[in-house]
Amino acid sequence: MDLGLTGRTAFVSGSTQGLGHAIARTLADEGAAVVLNGRSEDRVEDAVERLRAAVPSAQVEGIAADFADQGDVHRLLQSIGEIDILVNNVGIFEVAAFEDVSDDDWQRYFDVNLMSGVRLSRRLLPAMLEQGWGRIVFVGSESGVNVPADMTHYGATKAAMLALSNGLAKATRGTRVTVNTILGGPTYSDGVARTVELIAQAQGVPVDEAKSAIAARNVTSLLQRFIEPDEIASLAAYLASPLSSAINGAAVRADGGTLTTTL
């Protein structure tokens, strides 16, 4: 299926590895020019080279910026060019007891997970509305709906992201600009993979065994496995395409059945 992305330009935050890189690669495969983003110049340059190797025809460049650093964010917003598709993917997570998360930690989570999307959308949405076409895709999480007790700080930012996306969608009424959120489930990103490797090492078991055991603990999952980044990336590419024109203001589930609600 041709998603009709040739000639479009996409910016994907947090795209030097994992899910963000998978989304950028899928968009490039579909003919979009892609702007990658990561915290450091070295990471961005490496990601650009990897994407060019994976998709030789790709038009790809990168901008380094740490969304926890307001100076970096200001420089990014000043240097970013015309963008048709914004994928708000950057995010941080960790397991921590509620009482152990400091005010500074809360602020960092909101700066990276929520305010990155606020600042990028505020910069790019007006031009999308003016040119008459655009896509904003937030990469959310089922944790924003069913907030985990040991990741309350993370879940709160993802819940706020849902509200942000829904509110921005209302600003696009009657246009060909759409704003949607992907409600992803437990995904085998690079960060998760590193955690699983550490658990496997500590338990003295093969990584695949630890991976399967951890996935099986998610008793509501219908997949009973981790979701692969490419599976989320395919949905992101569809929501970024002209083919998704009737989807706006939606939270589209790609959670593997983890959420038990019907809507």
| Predicted confidence pLDDT, tens digits, the chain (263 residues) | 899 999 999 999 999 999 999 999 999 999 999 999 999 999 999 999 999 999 999 999 999 999 999 999 999 999 999 999 999 999 999 889 999 999 999 999 999 999 999 999 999 999 999 999 999 999 999 999 999 999 999 999 999 999 999 999 999 999 999 999 999 999 998 888 888 998 999 999 999 999 999 998 899 999 999 999 999 999 999 999 999 999 999 999 999 999 998 87
Is 219 in the same domain as 163? no
Give the domain extent around 237. 9-186+228-253
Tens of pLDDT along 168-186?
A: 999 999 999 999 999 999 9
Chain length of the chain: 263
pTM: 0.95
- Whether residue 208 is contained in a domain is answered as yes
Is 142 in the same domain as 86? yes
Is 158 in the same domain as 29? yes
- Whether residue 91 is contained in a domain is answered as yes
Residues 6 or more apart in contact with residue 252 via CB below 8 angstroms = 180, 181, 182, 183, 235, 239
Q: Which of 140, 147, 186 is nearest to 163 (CA)?
A: 140
Is 68 in the same domain as 177? yes
- Whether residue 261 is contained in a domain is answered as no
Is 94 in the same domain as 176? yes
Is 195 in the same domain as 178? no
Neighbours of 121 (CB within 10 A): 20
Contact 149, 208 (CB under 8 A): no
- Sort 21 into a burial class: Cβ within 10 Å, 0-12 / 13-18 / 19+: buried
Is 122 in the same domain as 155? yes
Instruction: Give residue 195's pLDDT.
Output: 84
Max alpha carbon distance in the chain (Å)?
A: 57
Whether residue 154 lies in the annotated active site = yes
- Whether residue 221 is contained in a domain is answered as yes
| DSSP string covering 28-55 | HHTT-EEEEEESSHHHHHHHHHHHHHHS
Residue owning tokens 């790609």: 254
Is 204 in the same domain as 217? yes
- Whether residue 4 is contained in a domain is answered as no
Could you say which of 109, 154, 188, 238 is catalytic?
Answer: 154
The DSSP call for residue 226 is P
Task: Tally the domains of the chain.
Answer: 2
d(CA 118, CA 237): 21
Is 156 in the same domain as 124? yes
Helix (H) or strand (E) holding 260: none
Is 120 in the same domain as 136? yes
